[in-house]
Structure 1
Amino acid sequence: MPNINKQILEKANAAISQGDFEGFLALCTEDTVWTFEGGRTLRGKAAVREWMKTAYQEPPRFRVHRMIAEGDFLAALGDITLKDEAGNAAQHSYCDVWRFREGKMAELHAFVVESGTGAG
């Protein structure tokens, strides 16, 4: 199961990198819940879709450094570069903890910290 979950997340990440939000969302459960620790919680695909429209005005650039899986959970550690509100590249370090259910991403706890600017 853990290797299957890693493959699902790799496929989802590839979709996001190409700006294919619907391809990404196809790998999520309808009732997916995303919690950005210290911030907001999104409930359901529609809420995630709306968030992606503003947060990912252009596809993010990211690198996954490590994936750690146990049972239905998968932690991905890496860095991601997003455009900030002014359109400048902002580098973030992250740890995403995903819970999978029936082969789809059902829950996310995201820990994200800005780590610099202009990286790629």
Structure 2
Amino acid sequence: MSTEANRQLARRGYDMFMKGDIEGVIGLCAEDVAWVSPKTEPISFSGSFHGKAEVGRFFQLMSETIEFERFEPQCFIADGDKVAVSGMSRGKVLGNGAKFDDAWVHIFTMKNGKIARFEQYNNSASYVAALSAPMLNNEDMAGAV
């Protein structure tokens, strides 16, 4: 595929993700896709996931843990089969209501019109702090929404 076609494939994936179409995102992946980020405790959805079923597990773990209030890809840089995307997100931890802000970079490797590899690098310290925060009380939770 062309560099531009690879860039558009990444854009399509983000569009699907932001609409909640996780099955669509998984459908863009190669059967043997590698979905990786540095393993960081206590982030359950960090580490390595291989194959479409495992990518589904990644999204399930993420949706059980956090909720995005904002998710914004900002810059797409493509070169051959690689697409790097930088962006920002904001959200909260479902278990305690704590908020996080995240600047991230995703690197895709495309092969035969599919996502063959996805690498995520982000502000894991923000996630760890939010995941480790004490439960907000009801009054705090009302203001956190």
Q: If the TM-score is normalised by the length of the shorter chain, which range does it land in? A: 0.7 to 0.9
The whole-number CA distance in structure 1 between the counterparts of 2:54 and 2:34 is 9
Q: Which moved more, 1:75-84 or 1:59-68?
A: 59-68
SS at match of 1:56: helix
The normalised TM-score by structure 1 is 0.85
Alignment gaps of 5+ in structure 1: none
Q: Which moved more, 1:107-116 or 1:97-106?
A: 107-116
Q: Would you tell me which structure has more helix in proportion to its own residues?
A: 2
Give the CA RMSD over aligned residues: 2.1
Residue 63, structure 1, aligned to residue 72, structure 2: yes
Question: Residue 12 of structure 1 aligns with which residue?
Answer: 13
Deviating above 6 A after TM superposition, structure 1's stretches of 4 or more consecutive aligned residues are: none
Aligned pairs for 1:40-79 (under 5 A) are 40-57=47-64, 60=68, 61-79=70-88
SS at match of 2:20: coil
The whole-number CA distance in structure 1 between the counterparts of 2:37 and 2:71 is 17
Pairwise CA distance, 1:59: 6.3
The whole-number CA distance in structure 1 between the counterparts of 2:96 and 2:19 is 22
Aligned pairs for 1:1-120 (under 5 A) are 1-39=2-40, 40-57=47-64, 60=68, 61-84=70-93, 85-114=95-124
Retained in 2: the 8 A contact 1:16–1:59? Answer: no
AA of the residue aligned to 2:55: V
Identity score, percent = 25
Q: Would you tell me which structure has more strand in proportion to its own residues?
A: 1
Alignment gaps of 5+ in structure 2: 41-46, 131-145
Mark the CA change 1:59 to 1:12 in structure 2 (over 3 Å): closer, same or farther. Answer: farther
The whole-number CA distance in structure 2 between the counterparts of 1:38 and 1:46 is 19
The whole-number CA distance in structure 2 between the counterparts of 1:110 and 1:100 is 15
Aligned residues: 117
Retained in 1: the 8 A contact 2:78–2:84? Answer: yes
